[in-house]
Structure 1
Amino acid sequence: MRKVILFFLILSSVYSAQIKPSAKFVSSGGVVDLITNKDKIYSATSAGIVDIFDINTQKKVKSITLPKIKDFMGDMVDAKIYSVDKIDDKLLILSQGSGGYSRAFIYENEKLTSIIDESSYMAIIKAKFINKNTIVFGLLSNEIISFDIKTKKRNWTNQASGAKFSNLVINEDKSEIVIADESGILKIMSAKDGKILKKLKGQNLDNVFQVDYKNGIIATAGQDRRVVIYATKFDSAYYKEANFLIYSVGLSPSGKLAGYSSDENNNISVFNTITKRKIGTYTDNKMTLTNIVFIDENRMLGASDDKTINLYKIK
């Protein structure tokens, strides 16, 4: 009898760990990039639109549509948005441009202003604010550039490595940039002058698709099916293995929780980065995960190539 009770207790705990979304937000297209700022969600989509949602009311409050571009056949098509970022009242939007190059815009006071266009001949993959007048971006070639928005000139340029660029993230005080690429080696770069401060290696053996950096903790999503946790304060690292390619990863603000795409069903596994204990599995993502973003220690967003953004309660 005790064995039967124990069996059902274990079975119950397993199924209780399968957590469905508490709410859903529907974007205009597949979600490519996702950020939160105060009580808003900013969703950059493949449809050339940035959708803004209110977290509390769970309603869409605004959509920003970019001008269409010409494809290689000369047809006008939606400009896929690669990344979005926000500082003060400025929104930075990086998108696909004509001819295989990229465009960047600043949206402020209901006005969309171009700061980089196709004439720059740059294939930019990701862009983030350093401060209200400076952005940093990574090119496909893994050239990292600090750019002055007002003068439209480069502050510094650094070739992070010869490997293809994947992703970049900036720490909270915007002093350090972490670069991820197909080598599996992370580069921590100074935001001030672009100098490489440190290299983190030996954990990911292949391309790192995505990286996050919160409160001194760095997490990676690897093609080698490894999610790696680096504790830069203690110069320590470990990895967890999945049964499928890990396309996306995110950290809670404290760095104590990490979420990663853990299987072929597009589920998100969340674990404690200190104890390594699994918290739960978060379900109902219809397509390949593109973003995992923690609003706080108790709420998390999961977005994919689908239009739907799932909101989960962690505790």
Structure 2
Amino acid sequence: MKLFLFLNLLTSVLLSAALVPERTIETAGTVQHIALVEGKIIAGTSAGTLEVYQLSDATKLSQTKFPNIKDFTGDEVAPKVFSVDMLGNTLLAVVQASNGARELYLIEEGKPKVLIDATANLFISKAQFVDKKHILVALLSNEIFLWDIQTKKEIYRIQPSSSHFSDFALNETKSRVASACESGEITLFDVLSGKITQVLKGGNVDNVYTVDFKKDKVLCAGQDRRGIVYTLQNSTYERFDGSFLIYAGALSPSVTLGAFAFNEQNDIVVFDLATKAKVHTLKGQKSTLNTIIFATEKELVSSSDDQFIMIWRIP
């Protein structure tokens, strides 16, 4: 019996031991956003670059450089790339324009093409492919619209909340969206129609920085130091309290694990969602985390407010 308890304790200690990154990628500038699509890491940076890396060995596959813009003082600077995505071989980027405006780009065969230019005066926060014909676009004002690439027109526009937009996440089939905002409420709606289907509330009482949506779970990373995981079937939630603002979080593909940026040291803590036990602590990110993504049950990718993207492997 004593041996059994000792082995259990040893296993628990080993599982919860701190892990260091397996690989580190250094980008051209501060990482603003990353996406993970079909084994490729797509990164947008403050140096005006959209960079693509192979997840398996961290090799750089391509880099797109956007033209310099003029800032409010008239000086030429590199534009920030706020949001990135990929579908097939086509890349998507939300890029800073002059005088505070933002533009939406498609990049095919390394050639950028503007879909929505600065004259539209849309302060785009995030954009993501739904399919080859449609892009979901969110504005800072928390207006979200479905954009038809071929007709260059909006199919619908909704405003889930009057609160400032924070983040959205599509589910695996890209049929539903979970949208987060400054109020802490999460709004779910149908992608193709824009019809609101569910509102989740009570878990967070302040801004939700990032959200993830897989299967019947929605994860929220909150300014109120709460990591929340909702179950959609009954709108209940589990709460994971951090010691600092929780800037990023992610669900594993099977939704058995959840990861949060959990403390002021920029550690990522991985939880078993069924038991709420801490199973791994990932140490090495040096700045404030902005994105965490599970590639598989055993592999994560993270980025922070510096030039480094880290690839982690867990036992």
Fold agreement, TM-score > 0.5: yes
Quote the Cα distance in structure 2 between the aligned partners of 1:252 and 1:98.
Answer: 38
Contact 2:144 2:158 in 1 (8 A): yes
Q: Partner letter of residue 75 of structure 1?
A: D
Quote the Cα distance in structure 2 between the aligned partners of 1:55 and 1:141.
Answer: 34
Partner of 1:66: 66
Q: Which runs of 4+ in 1 moved over 3 A?
A: none
Partner of 2:192: 192
SS at match of 2:13: helix
Q: Partner letter of residue 201 of structure 1?
A: K
Contact 1:168 1:211 in 2 (8 A): yes
Point out where structure 1 has 5 or more consecutive residues left out of the alignment.
none
Contact 1:99 1:118 in 2 (8 A): no
Partner of 2:56: 56
Q: Partner letter of residue 180 of structure 1?
A: A
Could you give the per-residue CA deviations for residues 118-153 of structure 1, whole angstroms, max 9, x where no partner exists?
Answer: 100010101111111111111111111111111111
Point out where structure 2 has 5 or more consecutive residues left out of the alignment.
none
Partner of 2:245: 245
Partner of 2:275: 275
Q: Partner letter of residue 284 of structure 1?
A: G
Partner of 2:296: 296
Q: Partner letter of residue 232 of structure 1?
A: L
Partner of 1:26: 26
SS at match of 1:243: coil
Quote the Cα distance in structure 2 between the aligned partners of 1:93 and 1:152.
Answer: 16
Answering whether residue 245 of structure 2 is matched by residue 221 of structure 1, we say no
SS at match of 1:173: coil
Taking the TM superposition and a 5 Å limit, the aligned residue runs for 1:81-96 are: 81-96=81-96
Give the CA deviation at 1:249.
0.7
Give the CA deviation at 1:44.
1.2
Partner of 1:170: 170
Give the CA deviation at 1:23.
1.1
Partner of 1:314: 314
Quote the Cα distance in structure 1 between the aligned partners of 2:16 and 2:131.
Answer: 43
Taking the TM superposition and a 5 Å limit, the aligned residue runs for 1:126-165 are: 126-165=126-165
Give the CA deviation at 1:15.
9.7
Contact 1:185 1:199 in 2 (8 A): yes
Quote the Cα distance in structure 1 between the aligned partners of 2:246 and 2:19.
Answer: 19
Contact 1:90 1:132 in 2 (8 A): no
Quote the Cα distance in structure 2 between the aligned partners of 1:282 and 1:21.
Answer: 7
Partner of 2:259: 259
Give the CA deviation at 1:234.
4.6
Q: Which segment drifts farther, 232-241 or 65-74?
A: 232-241
Could you give the per-residue CA deviations for residues 60-94 of structure 1, whole angstroms, max 9, x where no partner exists?
Answer: 12111112211111111111011111112221111
Q: Partner letter of residue 263 of structure 1?
A: N
Contact 2:18 2:280 in 1 (8 A): yes
Quote the Cα distance in structure 2 between the aligned partners of 1:120 and 1:150.
Answer: 17
TM-score (norm 1): 0.94
Give the CA deviation at 1:43.
1.1
Give the CA deviation at 1:22.
1.2
Q: Partner letter of residue 221 of structure 1?
A: A
Could you give the per-residue CA deviations for residues 168-192 of structure 1, whole angstroms, max 9, x where no partner exists?
Answer: 1111111111110000000001111
TM-score (norm 2): 0.94
Partner of 1:180: 180
Answering whether residue 96 of structure 2 is matched by residue 116 of structure 1, we say no
Contact 1:229 1:239 in 2 (8 A): yes
> How has the CA–CA distance of structure 1 residues 113 and 240 changed in structure 2, closer, same or farther, with 3 Å as cutoff?
same
Q: Partner letter of residue 170 of structure 1?
A: L
Give the CA deviation at 1:233.
3.4
Quote the Cα distance in structure 2 between the aligned partners of 1:261 and 1:109.
Answer: 35
Contact 2:227 2:260 in 1 (8 A): yes
Q: How many residues align?
A: 309
Q: Partner letter of residue 129 of structure 2?
A: F
Q: Partner letter of residue 215 of structure 1?
A: K
